[in-house]
Amino acid sequence: MKAQELKEKLQKGEDVLLLDVREKEEAEASEDKIEGSQNMPMGKVFTEAAKGNLPKGKKIVTVCKTGGRCEIVARELRQKGYDIEHLEGGVEAWKKEQ
């Protein structure tokens, strides 16, 4: 999903779960965050999904710094039946849209 599309969904108030898959220290140290996103490092996302703790009936958008990690998470979870996409270009692309 492109940053502009995500921005439009959020402005419309669509129910989207934003998962920032960066490591906790990396996400906390960065000033680049998307309001409303929750930090869940990549490894924990897979663990929580295996436990059934991620909603399958809700749109999930994964986010990282430049889009690489979040793309991997989205691809893997899509194969497991999740309604999930990644933010192309990560928070770097998001900053350019603001």
Residue 42 and residue 71: Cα distance in Å, rounded?
11
- Cβ neighbours of residue 53 closer than 8 Å, sequence gap 6 or more: none
Question: Does 31 have pLDDT greater than 90?
Answer: no
- Cβ neighbours of residue 10 closer than 8 Å, sequence gap 6 or more: 16, 36
* Angle formed by the axes of helices 90-97 and 3-11, nearest 10°: 60
Question: Does 13 have pLDDT greater than 90?
Answer: yes
Question: Does 97 have pLDDT greater than 90?
Answer: no
* Number of folded domains that form the chain: 1
The mean pLDDT of 46-74, rounded to a whole number, is 95
Question: Does 98 have pLDDT greater than 80?
Answer: no
Q: pLDDT-derived band of residue 29, with 50, 70 and 90 as boundaries?
A: confident
Q: The pTM is what?
A: 0.94
Residue 82 and residue 75: Cα distance in Å, rounded?
10
Host domain of residue 92: 3-97
What mean pLDDT, rounded, does the chain reach?
94
Residue 16's domain is classified under what CATH number? 3.40.250.10
